[in-house]
Homo-oligomer: A and B are copies of this chain.
């Protein structure tokens, strides 16, 4: 049993408790088990990775690459598919490029392990790159790496703005964020 639970735990996002609960649910309900198998087969049959942007295709179509209305000269770079989903559901009207991670030398994630070469292959002087990587140390390192390498090759390279999130309390903000939020202040009424 422990061995089977370990196998379930190999899935990122499934911890010890969740794996045990899944185990018992699969064991106790033939119906739940059958439905789970069907879901897995459906995912595996209907979805695949887009070989261009590394987002996913549903029934052979990528919501970004195969869109007729999206601006193909504005590429938003994100670290994973979950982030790409967030962008898809936002007002952003360009296309996407999923890196499949962020540079992390400590964890042995070097640029070659990411889809960075594939990003560079998509760039030309007409293209604006929006670096929407996480505002963490690894995200910043990755954004800087790409920005340095792409210098002069893209039309524009931009980074999502740092600021105070909706509902954010100044007390709890770090100074760098606060200073950026002040520097990037927006005029709401011109005197």
Interface residues of A (CB under 8 A from B): 1, 4, 7-8, 10-14, 17-28, 30, 32-33, 35-37, 39-40, 42-44, 47-49, 56, 58, 81-82, 85
Contacts and interface: CB of A to CB of B under 8 A. Distances in A.
B7 A11 contact: no
Contacts of A14: 14, 18, 22
B18 A47 contact: no
Given A24-B81, A37-B37, A32 B11 contact: yes
Contact of A27 (B1, B35, B36, B44): B44
A43 B21 contact: no
A12 to B, nearest CB: 5
Contacts of A47: 1, 23, 27
Which of A10, A27, A33, A56 gathers the greatest number of chain B CB atoms within 10 Å? A27
Nearest to A26: B43
Contacts of A23: 43, 47
Nearest to A47: B27
Contact of A4 (B12, B13, B42, B49): B42
